[in-house]
Amino acid sequence: MTVRTFKALAIATAIWTIGSVGHAPVLAANQVVAPPTTVDVPGRISDRLVRDGLVIDFEATPVESDAITEGLLTDVRFRITQEASGEPVKGVFPAAWLDVGANIGGKDGEIKECRDKVGLYLKGIVGIRPMLDLNGYYVLVLNKDPSISVVDPMVNMAGRTSTYAIIVLKRPPMDWARSKDEKTLFVSMPVADEVAVIDADHFKVTHNVPAGDNPTRVVVQPDGRYVWIGNNGLGEKSGVTVLDAESYKQVGFIATGKGHHEISFSDDSAHAFVTNRDDGKLSVIDVARLEKIQDLDVGKQVLSVGYSALAKAAYVADGKTGQVTVIDGETLEIRKRIQSHRGLGPLRVSPDGRWVLAANTLKDQVLVIDAANDQVVNSIDIAGEPFQLTFSRSFAYVRGLSTSKVSLINLSSLGEGKKPIVNSFDAGNKAPKLAGDLPLADTMTTATTDTSAFIVNPADNTTYFYMEGMNAPMSNYKSFGHVARAAKLVDRSLKEVEPGVYSTKVRLPVDGRFDVALMLDTPELVHCFSMSAARNPTMHQAGSWGIEFVDDRASGAVGEPTALRFRIVDPVSEEIKEGVRDASVAWYRAPAFERREAIAKEVEPGLYEVALEFAKPGAHYAFVKVPSLKINQENSRFRSIKVGAERVATAKTK
């Protein structure tokens, strides 16, 4: 079983269902560590593991500074090669986690503790998360109210997935899009005439950017440089606003025409194609100059547009005429008009560019065009007013307005003279249109395994997880306190950036030393590398309070209270905060046992104390929390405590 399959099965059996994930895989115990590799880049941390015929080189390299620093991006990568030949090992799907490092005991003890943590991460127990999960993803659910729910699909809580965070927006959302590196999310808010910019690492709104009149559709162009927003405004305010994807500043506004706007791009990002629904025109825009080149007559009610990199052409669907117009991507002229039936609406192009699918809501059909020759090759009956399309690697998912069913069209069965294979499953028991007004954002999104999907049913306020090949969803997540409308994933997994090199970029939330755990299933291997991050002075401005522990090191014994003392200090002015009433300390035995929490007492002005008690020996961690000062486990410094067995004298008196 591959790691990717394991993750998919873990989701299928544990996400949003009652019961536990099951046992973690058996972890390898013997690691042979070769001497660290030579560090030839300033600030880079590297190490090497040689075992079972494999060489694994670990590297952590600063991206935004000269040294690995809290709050800044760090490139984490594993280079896996064959020991004998030096050939890269491709397609192995390693799993990795980054967490607070152990400061006590010998190296063997640290590895065991880190390995124990990995077993718990895989079980998906509530409250036991690594600081950064480098494998999985979060499901973001767009709500009807001004919020986005962030769901951790690997955490099981009384049969329901844990809501990891709630992102509060300024106004209700309409559509959203990810940046190319998936580190940023852009969310349109028509009532506010703004786009919310969300840090997808920390799930926080960082900016609310003016985005023209009535911003609706949001699309990031293929090269990631610009964010395009469709403005459903009146008169000259109807068109597209263009934002720089890094600075978030507006770089242009282009008036295009009347009505709602859909947006697509050539694969090289040279041209943008913008529909004008009420004008019956398609505007072609030169992206480099941000100028409209021409308007093409493509119908009377232009509803959608998609671009095929394979055919080098844009395909435009018109609802009134029932035509699909093909625009040559090089000459920018109409090269063909394909006549179908009135009622054409959503149009999507398969990821490989081969198939163009257009849903006909009135006729309950999906039209299939072969982009290789611009010929209609299939007309597939899909009941329930099909209105949304999305793709996985092997299937087209079709959603109907008046049915709870989701239809799956097998892409390999499409083509001239072939009979398409269509299966379906129920995503709930209510039709989506019963929910009333729906946003532009898709109610369906494929998972990172590309063989599964998440489907939101707005009518029953539930998000369903479906694995391809099954007859029904494997599990579901009910939105409590919010009305779910759409779903999107934030992928945190390692990606193979070159043969045998698996990499991701992370933003370390705090400074200190960290364990980076790596797991392979063939050969069965778990190993923990180490790295550290320097303190970032710019993150500790005057007025932003931090924790300063009084003792350099702490130790304790089972059965004996141990005093943990700390101050709350402004790192810039060095002011000590007095009179805090809501400070508390949470502590637990590594990796995540015997969690306890106690309120801190101010024993003298500005000095706070908690008496820690320990049930068993081992490594313990303590974190300070002060809600009134926004200090929590995510941003607080930690204290490691070495706890020994009961002292002899104490034991004899019992």
Looking at residue 490, its amino acid is V
- Closest to 191 in 3D by CA, of 169, 214, 175, 210: 214
CA distance linking residue 632 with residue 452, whole number of Å: 35
Q: Is 211 left (phi over 0), alpha (psi -120 to 50) or beta?
A: alpha
**What is the reported pLDDT for 535?**
84
Confidence of residue 10 (pLDDT cuts 50, 70, 90): very low
pLDDT tens-place string over residues 501-548? 999 888 787 788 888 999 988 888 889 898 989 888 776 655 578 888
Confidence of residue 192 (pLDDT cuts 50, 70, 90): very high
- pLDDT higher at 150 or 414: 414
Helix (H, G, I), strand (E, B) or coil at 225: coil
CA distance linking residue 250 with residue 248, whole number of Å: 7
Name, in order, each residue with C-beta under 8 angstroms of 437's C-beta and a sequence gap of 6 or more.
none
Q: How many Cα neighbours within 13 Å face the side chain of 559?
A: 10
Span of 69-83, 273-287, 395-409, 640-654 with lowest mean pLDDT: 640-654
Q: What value does the mean pLDDT take over residues 318-339?
A: 97
Confidence of residue 117 (pLDDT cuts 50, 70, 90): confident
Count other Cβ atoms within 10 Å, centred on residue 126: 12
Per the document, the length of the chain is 654
Q: What value does the mean pLDDT take over residues 89-115?
A: 68
Name, in order, each residue with C-beta under 8 angstroms of 616's C-beta and a sequence gap of 6 or more.
558, 589, 593, 594, 643
Q: What value does the mean pLDDT take over residues 293-304?
A: 97
Query: Which helix H or strand E contains 3, and what residues bound it?
Result: helix 3-14
Q: Are strands 137-143 and 147-157 parallel, antiparallel or unpaired?
A: antiparallel
**What is the reported pLDDT for 536?**
83
Is the pLDDT reported for residue 114 higher than 80? Answer: no
pLDDT tens-place string over residues 537-547? 776 655 578 88
State both tokens at 159: 């049969």
Domains by residue range for the chain, with CATH: 31-134+495-533 (2.60.40.1930), 170-297 (2.130.10.10), 540-653 (2.60.40.10)
Q: Whole-model pTM?
A: 0.70
Name, in order, each residue with C-beta under 8 angstroms of 42's C-beta and a sequence gap of 6 or more.
66, 67
Q: Which long-range contacts (CB under 8 A, 24 or more apart) does 436-442 make?
A: 438/485, 439/142, 439/173, 439/174, 439/175, 439/485, 439/486, 440/174, 440/175, 440/216, 440/217, 441/142, 441/173, 441/174, 441/175, 441/176, 441/485, 441/486, 441/488, 442/388, 442/390, 442/486, 442/487, 442/488
Helix (H, G, I), strand (E, B) or coil at 453: strand
Which string of DSSP letters, residue by residue, matches 549-598?
Answer: ESSSSEEEETTS-EEEEEEEE-TTT-PBP---SS-EEEEEETTTEEEEEE
Strands (E), 329-428: 334-339, 344-349, 355-360, 365-370, 375-381, 386-391, 395-400, 405-410, 422-426
Q: Which long-range contacts (CB under 8 A, 24 or more apart) does 540-544 make?
A: 540/571, 540/572, 541/572, 542/570, 542/572, 542/573, 543/570, 543/572, 544/570, 544/571
pLDDT tens-place string over residues 463-472? 998 989 888 9
Beta partners for residue 517, in sequence order: 97, 528
**What is the reported pLDDT for 579?**
93
Q: What value does the mean pLDDT take over residues 281-292?
A: 98
Helix (H, G, I), strand (E, B) or coil at 368: strand
pLDDT tens-place string over residues 578-608? 999 999 998 877 655 677 889 999 999 999 9
pLDDT tens-place string over residues 373-424? 999 999 999 999 999 999 999 999 999 999 999 999 999 999 999 999 999 9
Q: What value does the mean pLDDT take over residues 20-47?
A: 44
Confidence of residue 22 (pLDDT cuts 50, 70, 90): very low
3-state DSSP of 235-291: HHHCEEEEEECCCCCEEEEEECCCCCCCEEECCCCCEEEEEECCCCEEEEEECCCCE
**What is the reported pLDDT for 308?**
97
**What is the reported pLDDT for 151?**
85
Is the pLDDT reported for residue 145 higher than 50? Answer: yes
CA distance linking residue 455 with residue 163, whole number of Å: 17
Looking at residue 525, its amino acid is L
CA distance linking residue 386 with residue 444, whole number of Å: 13
Q: How many Cα neighbours within 13 Å face the side chain of 123?
A: 16
User: What does the buried/exposed string (b/e) look like for 587-619 if buried means 16 or more CB atoms within 10 Å of the residue's CB?
Assistant: bbbbbbeeebeeebeeeeeebbbbebbbeeebb
Helix (H, G, I), strand (E, B) or coil at 4: helix
